[in-house]
Amino acid sequence: MLLANKVAIVTGAAGGMGKAISLRFAAEGCDVAAADLNLAGTNETLNEVKKLGRDGLALQVDITKSAQIKDMVEKVIEKYGRIDILVNAAGTLFAFADLNNMDHKESIGNISEDEWDKLIEVNLKGCFLCCKYAAPYMIEKRYGKIINFSTSGAIHPPAVAPHYNSAKAGVLGLTYDMACELGPHNINVNAILPGPIRTSFYDRIMESLSDEEKEAMFKMMCKDAPLQRCGTPEDIAGVALFFASELSSYVTGVPLLVSGGIPLMPRL
């Protein structure tokens, strides 16, 4: 097993990529602290982790709240005495929770200050806080793997989400700086940049569409991918496993696109 007897914190673990990572890690011998705002979802993830023979915690956490992040880390340390792996998968593309009334903003001039602040807070500040409180324990043990989540849009942005892409570009800057700072302590810091990944998030925002309309939407999202398909949470989990394991022991400060080949242009 690639992660035998390791301990990981995975944020955004209630569903999608975070859940897939939690289960892949458990299958490789890792205990998992599943953290998310959605406590019911983290409990479900933990139940599946236990079915794979591993232990863990289900934690309800708002990653924008420093006290909650500190408490999350302390609970893991209290139970396991260490944190080997931190996966910062939690994030949001939209500032507010009403998924049925979302309006994609195509212009920087149409983004409100509140929307800008919210996306920076969740996607960049949240990543920073998790690293801030987990890294000292990794330094103490002289071992750690930190995996941050950016997006392909951070380096090849579409025009629809400059606030999201800017926050995720900030995650890349944070990744580079932490890789330099923490490398001497035997801590690897890398970033995953997902492209079009088909998760339950899209099922929620497209719930009013028919199955045929959903399939057409996913086909459009992936039309420029040389691999000719959308990615899956399991595709992301495989890359996270590489970064979390000793297979990547000499890899740090790397932003890895997981995008089916985008932005390569397929041959006509």
164 is catalytic: yes
Q: Does the N-terminal peptide bond of residue 255 adopt cis geometry, omega within 30 degrees of 0? A: no
Within its chain, how far is the Cα of 206 from the centroid?
21
> CB within 8 A of 5, min separation 6: which ones?
29, 30, 31
Single out the residue of 70, 19, 86 nearest to residue 234, CA to CA: 19
Any idea of the CA torsion for 176, 177, 182, 183, to the nearest 10 degrees? 50
| CA-to-CA separations, 133 to 32, 71, 104, 129, 186, in angstroms, rounded | 17, 9, 34, 6, 17
The catalytic residue among 133, 164, 176, 250 is: 164
Dist CA 33 CA 199 (whole Å): 21
Any idea of the CA torsion for 57, 124, 224, 205, to the nearest 10 degrees? 60
Single out the residue of 202, 201, 237, 205 nearest to residue 219, CA to CA: 202
**Active-site amino acid positions:** 164
